[in-house]
Structure 1
Amino acid sequence: MEQNKPIATPSKRIDVIDALRGFALFGVIITHMLQRFGIFAGVRPGEPNFPALDGAVQWLFQNVIMGRFINIFAFLFGMSFFIQMDRAAKKGIDFRGRFLWRLVLLFVIGRIGASFTHVDILSVYALFGVILVFLYPLKNKVLMIIALLLLLGIPRIFVVGVDRISNEPATEVVQPAPQQQPQQQNRQWEPPTFFESVVRNQTTGTMGTINYQFGVSGRGYVTMALFILGLIVGRVRFFEEVHIKRKRNVVLFFVFLFSTLLVNFIIGLLSKEPINLFMLMRQGGNIPPIALVTATLNDINLVLLSGALAMGFITLFQVKSVRKYLESITPYGRMGLTNYEMQGVIGAILFSAWGFGSIFGTWRPTELFILGVVIYILQAIFSKYWMKYFLYGPLEWLWRSGTYLKWQPFRRKSEKSIKH
């Protein structure tokens, strides 16, 4: 098959996928905003202006938003991978080699994004994408088994160590406090410059991200499972029939929702008090099996609620009176790469010490939530008008041009040029 033949013009898109990506990115910016993009500007949150609302926002963040929307974003990456491979195959093109090069470019984009904030996940996505390319020839049943093993927390067992999984009491390993030099004890925190922040994000920030993705948290393993599930769902042509199988959409929504409630109930039965697996790991000694089971159930719960949110959105998208409003974020989703990176740059400017961190770093959850909504709306308006005149978002166009090593069409043809 031809491997280097470019696909010059954009294929017909499935609008609900773009809209769902735009929906996912709403949750992503709210999550990062409430986490201040992982940036500390040397200031602490001020006194609450809206204490009751702060509590409500925190509950919404912890129980509905955090971890759920990024799951949808990851799932759609696997879906997009299948769509590109499938459309290329229909044109007689083996896209695997080209997609691997595409992932190299994504890794570079992700590292540039990580210069602003270490919470940028695209470089990790690029690495998982390489694995997805090699998993692509496998049958759906095999892929499903791999995804289930990842979701069941099998990698976490190896991270913890089988020899440490026991209910037997063990002597805690207390880490000695680091000895500080007299001059260090009196040294005040100095705000980093932009360059110093870049270096820190690319070094210690990157190490923190690696630990979060591949350590006890196992966030990366869940992401890889969602990539695989996105590939499987793409293969069964789910989204190609989503507009005509509305009853199925509703049924799936309630299945995901009730499954979430069931898993929550089981977690409550297993553990009356939250088990902090990270704390247990830091303390040393044995890890009770119930801690690993609870961590796995929490991961599964996040994925199930993500499914409920996605199916709820898809169901509403098929309602004509609602769809006309939800379609407004379709351009946002089509520019998902640009908007995601733009979120990180804006977040760095707002919260870094070299930016406006001394101001926005003191804001409480309610103010940060509102600010996130405002930024999202402004991005949505920008995306709508950008896509009116261009075929792709700026980064999407550069990524596509780099993929084929040839400048791709960018501007939309006006009606006058078409007539002539």
Structure 2
Amino acid sequence: MTEGHVAPITSSERIGELDALRGFALLGVFIANYVFFAFYPFASMEVHREAWSEDPANVLALQATLWLVSDKANTLFGVLFGMGFWVQLSRMKARTSDANSLYLRRLTILLGIGAINLYLLWPWDILFVYAIAGFLLFALRGLSLRAMAIAGLVLMLFSRPVVKTTSRELGILGRQEGLVYNPDAQASRFDTIINGSYADWVREFAFMTHEGFFLSGVLISWILYALGRFLIGAWIARQGWLERIAELRPRIGRIALVVLPLGLALEYVHMAVNNDMMELPDLANQAVHMVGLVLAALGYATALLWLYHSKSLGWLPRLFAPTGRMALTNYLAHGILFTLVLAGFGPGLALAGSITPIQTLMLAVGVFVALSVFSHFWLRTYRYGPLEYIWRTLTYGSAPQFRRQPAIAR
């Protein structure tokens, strides 16, 4: 174990499978965020949503996003965070006795980045939640394997419904609905998005965040939701399976063949119930969804891992790896770009209320492709994404080498 200066991991130390999975998860995050946030009562009025609901293409875009993407992407992304946590902390401990302090500093910086994003750039930020859940994961790192798996699974399946039900019983969600979601508040917020200044945007969404996120109890709900996924990710990494993915490929393929169709079938039922195509009691529908999304996310991950080690198709999941290596930069960029699409201040296009679900779906894919191409070419010259470089520099207290060394001619 070395003391003193500790450098971040090099490119050769990265786990390519995790980068590919992270990039794939980001695609789902982009789609879910763009399609649903443009449709929610924040950036559209009821008259817009009613008109979109009469267009089969828009209905299909919403249904497909709910069925194939919603909650699956953030589940996969959260599990990957937990896996990355265990890998990074283990590597830090192998290099220095100050590993715990370094990782806590890393989380503190992420909390700051999340707060900036939440209040100044993208009011639907998840980094703030991830940082808080990361501190809780750090506190629980000493759990036994069994306890970590049980706690993670329980939180994955039950955290959101329990917290939301409790909040409703206390009357907190009623207050949230009155302050944030009533028609007058929606109209005011929509006018701010279209006609307001940047200062108006910040002020309006700071209020929404304070009342609809912090005081409502939704923040606690999302922290527990994320923590469950983090614990499962850390549990997976502790098993040592990451080092044996190629060896376990046949078993991974068999798992994908079972859980992906089953998970998507359950999620289709959930989508159908939510769109009045089927009927189920609310509790049964919620149970179907919570099990289905976990199985679908596991199915996506195992299918991608199986492809990653395919001799003929391995190139396909590897296309996602550069985007995943620059996940922080790309996540913040996707929010800033969508803000400029929805809002009217500065160079904003003021398309809130007029950009339809099918258009936001195509926009999400287009933005992802553009950022993926950017990431690919950026990483040819630099070892880290721009924000990843800043994050590492602040974490370790010194700037690592940024540019790649030019290849030596032979």
Q: TM-score range by the shorter chain?
A: 0.7 to 0.9
Aligned-pair CA distance for 1:97: 1.5
- Deviation (angstroms), 1:324: 1.5
- The reply to whether residue 298 of structure 1 matches residue 289 of structure 2 is yes
Alignment CA distance shift 1:374-1:159 (3 Å) = closer
Correspondence for 1:27: 28
1:312 maps to which of 286, 295, 303: 303
Pick from 42, 64, 67 the counterpart of residue 68 of structure 2.
64
Closer, same or farther in 2 for the Cα pair 1:351/1:139, shift >3 Å?
same
| Contact 2:167 2:217 survives alignment (8 Å) | no
Q: 2:242 aligns with which of 222, 232, 239?
A: 239
After TM superposition, the score normalised by the length of structure 2 is 0.83
Equivalent position to 1:111, from 72, 96, 115: 115
Change (3 A) 1:326 1:254: closer
Higher-helix-fraction structure:
2
Counterpart for residue 130 of structure 1: 135
Structure 1: distance between partners of 2:292 and 2:134: 24
Equivalence map 1:352-371=2 (5 Å): 352-354=343-345, 356-359=348-351, 361-371=353-363
Tell me, what secondary structure is at the counterpart of 2:130? helix
After TM superposition, give the deviation of residue 366 of structure 1 in Å: 1.8
CA drift of 1:321 comes to: 2.1
Establish whether residue 5 from structure 1 lines up as the match of residue 8 from structure 2.
no
Report 1:63-82 matches (<5 A): 63-82=67-86
The amino acid that maps onto 1:5 is H
Give, in whole Å, the separation in 2 of the partners of 1:22 and 1:381. 12
Q: 1:34-183 maps to which residues of 2 (within 5 A)?
A: 34-36=35-37, 39-40=42-43, 44=48, 51-114=55-118, 115-153=120-158, 156-157=161-162, 160-161=165-166
The residue type equivalent to 1:135 in the other structure is L
Structure 1 position 320, deviation (Å): 2.3
**Counterparts of 2:177 and 2:312, CA distance in 1:** 63
2:379 counterpart of 1:387: yes
Percent of residue pairs identical? 25
Change (3 A) 1:213 1:323: farther
Could you give the per-residue CA deviations for residues 150-206 of structure 1, whole angstroms, max 9, x where no partner exists? 1342675466349969xxxxxxx999999xxxxx9x999453211121233333225
Which is higher, the Rg of structure 1 or of structure 2? 1
Q: 2:279 aligns with which of 273, 278, 283?
A: 273
Query: 2:182 is matched with which residue?
Result: none
Aligned CA distance change for structure 1 residues 220 and 305 (closer, same or farther; 3 Å) = farther
How far the C-alpha of 1:117 sits from its partner, in A, is 1.8
8 Å Cα contact 2:133/2:224 also seen in 1: no
In the other structure, the counterpart of 1:280 is none
Offset at 1:396? 0.3
Name 2:325's counterpart in structure 1: 334
* 363-372 vs 393-402, greater mean Cα deviation: 363-372
Alignment of 1:180-219 (within 5 A): 189=191, 191-210=195-214, 211=216, 213-214=218-219, 218-219=221-222
Using the alignment, how far apart are the partners of 1:13 and 1:105 within structure 2? 21
Q: In the alignment, residue 291 of structure 2 is paired with which amino acid?
A: I
Question: How big is the shift at 1:409?
Answer: 1.4
Matched-pair contact (CA < 8 Å) for 1:118–1:206: no
Deviation at 1:86, TM superposition (A): 1.4
Map 1:278-289 onto structure 2 (within 5 A).
Answer: none
Amino acid corresponding to residue 324 of structure 1 in structure 2: W
Residue identity matched to 1:368: T
Question: Cα–Cα, structure 1 residues 148 and 307, in superposed 2: closer, same or farther, change >3 Å?
Answer: same
Q: Please, which runs of 5 or more residues in structure 2 have no aligned partner?
A: 180-184
The alpha-carbon distance between structure 1 residues 95 and 89, as it changes in their structure 2 partners (threshold 3 A), is same
Separation in 1 of the partners of 2:70 and 2:266?
A: 17
Q: Which runs of 5+ in 1 are unaligned?
A: 166-172, 179-183, 276-290
Q: Secondary structure at the residue paired with 1:374?
A: helix
The amino acid that maps onto 1:145 is I
**Taking structure 1 as the reference length, what is the TM-score of the superposition?**
0.81
1:356 Cα deviation after fit: 3.6
**How far apart in 2 are the matches of 1:332 and 1:160?**
37
| One-letter amino acid matched to 1:388 | R
Give the Cα–Cα distance (whole angstroms) in 1 for the partners of residues 307 and 325 of structure 2. Answer: 19
CA distance in 2, matches of 1:261, 1:341: 29
Query: 1:401–1:408: 8 Å Cα contact kept in structure 2?
Result: yes
1:99 to partner: Cα distance: 0.8
Change (3 A) 1:51 1:147: same
Q: 1:93 to 1:252 in 2, by over 3 A?
A: farther
Give the 3-state SS of the residue equivalent to 2:244 in structure 1: coil
Matched, 1:409 2:401: yes
**What SS does structure 1 have at the residue aligned with 2:383?**
coil
Whether the 8 Å CA contact 1:22–1:336 is kept in 2: the answer is yes
Q: Is the 8 A contact 2:393 2:400 kept in 1?
A: yes
* Contact map agreement 2:76 2:297 (CA 8 A) in 1: yes
Q: 1:137 to 1:346 in 2, by over 3 A?
A: same
Shift, 1:314, TM fit: 1.5
The size of the alignment, in residue pairs, is: 388
